[in-house]
Amino acid sequence: MRRLGFLHALDRRRALQAIAAAAAYCVALPAISAETAVGAVSEITGYAFGELNDKRRKLTRRSSIFLKDTLRTAADSRLGALLARRTRLRLGAETSVRIDRFIVDSGGELVLDKGALLIDTRGRLLKSLEVQSPFALIAVRGTRFFAGPIDGIFGVFVVRGAVDVTGGGSTVRLNAGEGTDIASPGAAPGPIKVWGKPKIAKAMALVN
């Protein structure tokens, strides 16, 4: 009888351990599944890091980029990345971008908290690609465009394709060679203008 009681106690202890292990696995599962790779760093100059699940890691060439990652560059630094194998992303110095959503051949949502970026979808028409910033919402339809501070103001310029820029309750469509300036967060996009070569070169220098 004593041995039978001992075996029952042992089985009960093992069952409790199994339940505890399963519970720990379920708790950890969301954090693991959240680390879905959507791209990789293709080049880097200076220093950059990623933040995911309240953890910071230094980024180097070929570092993976994950869904919900926040990418940050330091002063005098640049970062190039490839998302979903085809969309190229370039970040200028002191830039912060969060990858909210990204799906192969579909598009996604990026949040530009500060700084400058250049996106090149390499001529592909994506179903939906949006860049949110404090200044405007930029809706992309297969294009190469710049967004960021230039000449003391936030500017958006299209190299190829078209984008819709929405801010302050107003939307403008930019085509290749055209840009708009936004004076402050919440303000409407300014008049559509053809950017000259000096301003284009200045914008490209911020991300290259």
54-78 pLDDT, tens digit per residue, is 999 999 999 999 999 999 999 999 9
Is the Cα dihedral 131, 61, 123, 203 positive or negative?
positive
- pLDDT for residue 14: 54
Which position has the higher pLDDT, 12 or 98? Answer: 98
State yes or no: pLDDT of 96 exceeds 80: yes
Q: 93, 65, 91, 55: which is closest to 77 by C-alpha?
A: 93
pTM: 0.79
CA distance 119 to 90: 7
Least confident range from 12-16, 37-41, 197-201: namely 12-16
pLDDT in tens, 169-204: 999 999 999 999 999 999 999 999 999 999 999 999
